[in-house]
Structure 1
Amino acid sequence: MTVYYVNSVTGSDYNSGTGESSAFATLSAVEALKLNPGDSVLLAAGSVFNEQFDLKYSGTVSAPITIGSYGIGDAPVIHSSNNGIHGSKASNIIVENIKIADTGANAIYAGSVSNWIIRNVEVSNTGLSGKAGSLSFQSSQNITIENSILTGVHGDGIWMDNVKGVTLVNNTVTNSQGSVADAIQLNNSSNILIKDNHLEQTETNSAKGVLVLIRAQDAVVEGNTLVGGGFGLSAQAGTNIAIHDNDISGYGGYSWSYGIGLGDSGDAKNYDISGNYLHDGVYGVLVSAVGNPAYLRENIIVHDNVFDDLTASALKVDRSASGSFYDNVIDSSVSTLTMPAAIAAQNTFSIGENKTLEQAQAELDSPAASASGDTSSSNEQTPVAPVSEHVEVPVPQVSSPAPSVETPAATVPAVVVPKIVAVHDSLKIAEDTGSAYHGNLLDNDNASNGTILLRRFGDSAVDKHGLTLTGKYGVIHVESDGDYSYTVDATKLAGLSGNVSEFFQYKISDGASHIDTDGLSVSINIDAFHSSHASHVLA
C-alpha cells in the first residue's frame, strides 16, 4: 500500500512521488502508474491541476484506492476542459477532501463501477461547455455521496442511471443550471437512501424541480430540506417508496406545481408519505399521470403531514388511484382535496379525518376533548363520497365531532396533556457586552414524543444551515436546534431613549403532524445600554 503525493507548486514528475518532499507535479504522472488496492493519491493543499484525472485501476472492498489531500490550506482543485475525474470500470474508489471546479463536462463521471465513496468534496461551476457538469454514475452499484457541496453545476447536480445501492447523505446542492436541470435525478435505480440533504433551486434558470426519482425501487427519502423549483420531489414511478419528515417549500411558477408528485413515467406502488412539512407552494401532494391514464397508482398512503401556505389543495388526485389521506394538519386557508367527479365516484382513494391548524391546537387545549376521549385524530378512513358532476371541486376540510360520553357526576375529567407546547421566550438586554446575546428557543418547549423540530422562524423555514434575519434593532441568527444569537445594531438605537422591543414568531413540530407556535420577545433598555457602552469605551 503506497501513498503518492502530488504538489503542483513544488513537485516534479521526475520525482518518485512517494514523499511530500519528492511529490509529483501533475496528475498525469499518477496515471502512468499502476495503482494497487490500498494505494492513496494525496493532492497538496493549495495545488491546482488543469487536467482530467483518469482512474484506470480498482481497489478492493477491504483496500480501496483513495484520492484525497494533505497539508494545510485551501483544498486542492482540479480544473479540466473535460471531466474532472473519469473512472469507468474502476471500482472500490474513495474521493475525498478535494475541490473540482470550472470543468468542461462532469465533475466526476464513472460507469460500470461499484463501491465508490465521494465525501467532503466541493464542486462548483462545472459543465462549462454545455455538457452536464454533475457527479454522474451509470450502470453501477453501491455509490455513496456524503458531506459534499455542489453549487452552480450545469445539468443535474447529482445524476445517476441504473445504479443499485445509492446513499446520498448530508450534501448541499444549490442552483443547478440548465433548462432541464434538477438538483438530483436518479433514473431506474434501487436500494436508495436520500437523507439530511439541503437541496435548493431558488436562483436557477431551470424550469424543473429539486429532487427526481424515476422508476425507483425501495427508496427512503427522509429529513431533507427542498427549496424552490417548479416542484419539490417528483417520485414519478416506483415501488416501495418512503418519503418521511422532509421540509419542502418555495416551489411554484406553474398551476400544477407540487411538493410531492407521482404517477407519470410508470406504475407507482406502495408509497408512504408522512411527517413532511409542505408549505409556500401550489399543491401539496399530487397523484397524477398526465397523458398516461393506464399507469397504476396503488396503495398511496398520505398521513401525518403538515400543509401550510399553499395556493391550491393539500392533495390532488386526478387519475384512478388507490390509497388514503388521513391524520394530516392543514392550514384553514388551504383546501383539503381536489378530485374529478369520476375519480371520486370510484371510491378507491379514501379520505380519513384531517384537521386544520386551528382545530389541532384547539384539540390540544380543550379539556372537553380529553374528557370525551378525543385526544388524537382517528386513523379510521372513509371513502370519498361520489360526486355527481364532472368538475374539480375542492373538498372542504372537516373533522368528525368528538363522541359524547356520559360521565358520572363524581368523576373528575382527565387533564389534557398537549402533545407539543411552545413556551414564550424573552431576551432582556440592559448592557452592551460588546458581543452577541445567546439563548435557545426550544429549551423550555416540550413534546410528548420527545421530538421538537424548529420549523419556521419569522416568515422563513429553518433548515440545517440555520437562518439569519434582520430585525428592527438588531440581527438574529437561529440554528435548527433552537440556539440563537442576537446582535444589537447600535446605530438603530442612536437618538433613542427608554425601552424598545421587537418580536419574532416561531413554529415547532414533533415530526408527527402536531405543531405549536410562540415567539421570542427582545427588549432593550436603551439608556442602560448606552451607559454601559460608554463605560466600555472609556475603559
Structure 2
Amino acid sequence: MTVYYVNSATGSDRNGGTGQNSAFATLSKVESLKLKPGDSVLLAKGSVFNEQFDIKYSGSESAPIKIGSYGTGAAPVIHSSGDGIHSLYASNIVIENLKISNVGGSGIYGGSVTNWTVRDVEVAKTGLSENAGAVTFRSSKNVTVEDSKISGVKGDGFWIEKVNGVKLLNNTVTTANGSTADAVQVNDSSNILIKGNHLDQTHASSPKGVIALVRATNAVVEDNVLTGGGFGISAPAGKNVAIRDNDISGYHGYSWSFAVGLGDQGNARDYDISGNHIHDGAWGVAVSGPSGASYTRTNIKVHDNVFDDLSQAALKVDRPASGSFYSNTIETGTKATSISPAIADAHTFTVKGNHTVANVETALASPVAKTAAVTEASADPAVVAVHDNLKIFTDTGDAHRGNLLENDSSDNDTLVLRRFGDETVGKHGLTLTGEYGDIHVDREGNYAYTLDETKLPDHSGHVSESFSYGINDGSSHHSDGDTLTVFIHLDGLLS
C-alpha cells in the first residue's frame, strides 16, 4: 500500500513520488505506474493539472485505490480538453477532495466500473460540447457520489445510465445548462437512492428539468430540495419507485410543467408519492402519456403531500391508471384534481380524505397538520419521535441548547435528523429564524436556540413557538416526525 504524491508546482517526474518532498509533477507519471489495491494518489492543494487523469487499475473492496489531496489551501484542480478523470473497467476506487473545471467532456467519467465512491468533489464548467454529463457513469455497478458540488456546467449535472446500485447523497447541483440538460438524469438503472440533495435549475438555460428518472427499478427519491426547471421529477416509466419528503418548487415555463410526472414513456407500476411539499409551479402530480400508447400505470399512490400556489391542479390523471389520491393538504385557490371523465367513470383512481386549508404555512406549523403529514410514518414502530420542549426562564444572551433525538428511538439504534421546519438538514446543519429567536440544528439532533429579546412582547406571561422536525433510522425505509416547542416565560425576562 503505497502513497504517491503529486505537486504541479514543486514536483518532478524524475522523483520517486513516495514523499511530499519527492513528489511527481504530472498525472501522466502516475498513469505510467501499475497502481495496486490500497495505493493512494494525493494531489497537492494549490496544484493545477492541465491533463486528463486516466485510472487504469483496480483496488479491492477492502483496499480501494484512493485519489485525494494533501497539504493546505485550495483543492487541487484538474483541467483538460477531454474528461477530467476517466476510467474504463476499474473497480473499487475512491475520489475525494478535488476540483475539476474547464474540461471538454465529463468532469468524471466511469464506464463499466464497479464500487466507486466520489465525495467532496467540486465540478464546474464542464462539457464544452454540451454532450456530456458533468459526472457520468455508464454500464456500471455500485456508484456513490456524496457531498459534492456541480455548478455552471454544459450538459446534465449527473448522467447515470445502466447502473445497478446508485447513491446520490447530499450533493448540490446549480445551473446545468443545455438544450437537453437536467440536473440529474438516470436511465435504465436499478437500486437507486437520491437523497438529501439541493438541485437548482432556476437560472439554467435549459428547457428541461431537475431529475429525470427513466425506466428505474427500485428507486427512492427523498429529502431533496428541487427548484426551477420545466419539471421537478420526471419518472416516466419504472417499477417500485418512492418519491417522498421532497420540497419541489419553481418549475415553470410550460403548460405541462409538473412537480412529479409519470406514465408517458413506458409502463409505471408501484409508485408511492408522499410527504412532499409541492408549490409555486403548474401541475402537481401528473399521470399522463402520449395519446394511443398502450402503457400501463398501476398502483400509483399519492398521499400526505402538501400542494400550494399551483396554476393547475394538484393531481392530473388523463390516461388509464389505477391508484389513489388521499390525505393530501391543498391550499385554497389550488384545484385539487383534474381527472378525465372516462377514468373517473371507471373508478380505478380513488380520491378521498384530502384537506383544503386557507393558508399552508399556518397548517404546516400546526400540530394537527403535522400529525396528518406523518400519518404513514407514525404507524411505523421502527422509528418513534417524541415531542420536545425547551423552557426559557432567564436569558444571558447565550444559546439555549438541547438534543431532539435524546428521547426518540429506532430499532437499529441509529437516528438522523433529516428535516427541520420546512427544510432539509444538510451536512452543515440548518439555521432558521423563528418568531422570537434563531435556531441552529445539525443531523445529530443538536440544537442551539438564541433568543432575540427585541422580538418579545412587552407584557408578562409567556409566549411560545413550535418547529416541526422529521427523523429516520439512517435508511430510506423508516421515519417519523414531531415538534419542538419553545416556551418563553416573560416574567423572568422582563423583571
State the TM-score, normalized to the length of structure 1. Answer: 0.73
| Separation in structure 2 between the aligned mates of residue 223 and residue 193 of structure 1, nearest angstrom | 11
How has the CA–CA distance of structure 1 residues 518 and 310 changed in structure 2, closer, same or farther, with 3 Å as cutoff?
farther
Label 1:108 to 1:170 Cα distance change in 2 as closer, same or farther (>3 A): same
Structure 1 residues 362 and 240, CA, compared in 2 at 3 Å: closer, same or farther? closer
Distance in 2, Cα, partners of 1:156 & 1:428: 53
User: Against the structure 1 CA distance between its residues 281 and 361, is the aligned structure 2 distance closer, same or farther, given a 3 Å change threshold?
Assistant: closer
State the percentage of identical aligned residues. 53
**How far apart are the structure 2 equivalents of 1:510 and 1:325?**
23
Where does residue 104 of structure 1 map in the other structure?
A: 104
8 Å Cα contact 1:104/1:131 also seen in 2: no
Higher strand share: 2
1:210-241 deviation line (CA, Å, top 9, x unaligned): 11100000111111111111111111110011
Counterparts of 1:446-525 in structure 2 under 5 Å?
Answer: 453-456=419-422, 464=426, 508=468
Moved more, 267-276 or 33-42: 33-42
1:41 and 1:172 map into 2 onto residues whose CA distance is 26
C-alpha separation in 2, matches of 1:519 and 1:281: 34
Map Cα deviations across residues 400-440 of structure 1 (whole Å, 9 max, x no partner).
xxxxxxxxxxxxxxxxxxx99999999999x9x8xxx8568
Distance in 1, Cα, partners of 2:92 & 2:386: 46
Secondary structure at the residue paired with 2:347? coil
C-alpha spacing 1:309/1:442, structure 2 compared with 1 (3 Å): farther
Report the Cα offset of residue 203 of structure 1.
1.4
The question of 1:95 aligning with 2:66 is answered: no
Asked if 2 retains the 8 angstrom alpha-carbon contact of 1:76 and 1:98, the reply is: yes
- State the SS of the aligned residue for 2:176: coil
**Match in the other structure for 2:119:** 119
1:510 Cα shift? 5.6
1:391 corresponds to: none
**Match of residue 42 from structure 1:** 42
Unmatched 5+ stretches in structure 1: 367-373, 379-418, 494-498, 500-504, 524-539
Q: Which moved more, 1:141-150 or 1:289-298?
A: 289-298
Q: Is the 8 A contact 1:442 1:452 kept in 2?
A: no
1:62 Cα deviation (Å)? 2.2
1:140 alignment counterpart? 140
Residue of structure 2 in register with 1:329 after alignment? 329
* Distance (Å, rounded) in 2 between the aligned partners of 1:234 and 1:78: 33
Moved more, 511-520 or 197-206: 511-520
Task: Give the letter for the 2:294 counterpart.
Answer: A
1:13 and 1:259 map into 2 onto residues whose CA distance is 53
Q: Once structures 1 and 2 are overlaid, which stretch shifts more, 57-66 or 160-169?
A: 57-66
Given that 1:293 and 1:319 are in contact with CA atoms closer than 8 Å, whether structure 2 keeps it comes out as no
* Deviation of 1:133 (Å): 4.6
Equivalent residue runs for 1:160-199 within 5 Å: 160-199=160-199
In structure 2, the CA distance between the partners of 1:244 and 1:156, relative to structure 1 (3 Å rule), is: same
The residue type paired with residue 48 of structure 2 is V
**How big is the shift at 1:508?**
3.9
Secondary structure class of the residue paired with 2:154: coil
Q: Does 1:57 align with 2:60?
A: no
2: CA distance, partners of 1:205 / 1:440? 44
- For residues 335 and 425 of structure 1, do their structure 2 counterparts lie closer, same or farther at Cα, with a shift above 3 Å needed? farther
8 Å contact kept, 1:52–1:86: yes
Map of 1:249 onto structure 2:
249
Q: Does 1:293 align with 2:259?
A: no
Counterpart of 2:191, as a letter, is N
Q: Distance in 2 between matches of 1:365 and 1:116?
A: 44
1:320 alignment counterpart: 320
Please tell me the residue identity of whatever aligns with 1:93: I
Letter of the aligned partner of 2:128 in structure 1?
A: L
The answer to whether the 8 A contact 1:208-1:230 is kept is yes
Q: Which AA in structure 2 matches 1:271?
A: Y
State the SS of the aligned residue for 1:72. coil
SS in 2 for 1:343: helix
Which residue of structure 2 lines up, in the alignment, with residue 33 of structure 1?
A: 33
TM-score, normalization by structure 2? 0.79
Aligned residue pair count: 457
The answer for the alignment partner of 2:234 in structure 1 is 234
Cα offset, 1:364, TM superposition = 6.7
**1:65 and 1:515, CA in 2 relative to 1: closer, same or farther beyond 3 A?**
closer
Shift in CA distance, 54/173, structure 1 to aligned 2, threshold 3 Å: same
SS at match of 2:344: helix
Q: Which amino acid aligns with 1:261?
A: G
Deviates more, 1:65-74 or 1:9-18: 65-74
Q: 2:8 matched to 1:8?
A: yes
1:150 aligns with 2:116: no
Quote the residue 1:81 is aligned against: 81
After TM superposition, give the deviation of residue 6 of structure 1 in Å.
0.5
* Correspondence for 1:343: 343
Q: Which amino acid aligns with 1:251?
A: Y
What is the Cα deviation at residue 519 of structure 1? 11
For 2:106 and 2:266, the matched residues in 1 are separated by 29
Q: Distance in 1 between matches of 2:55 and 2:480?
A: 48
In structure 1, the partner of 2:382 is none
Residues 236 and 217 (structure 1 numbering): CA distance in 2 closer, same or farther, change over 3 Å?
same
SS in 2 for 1:319: coil
- Aligned residue runs from structure 1 range 322-471, under 5 A: 322-357=322-357, 453-456=419-422, 464=426
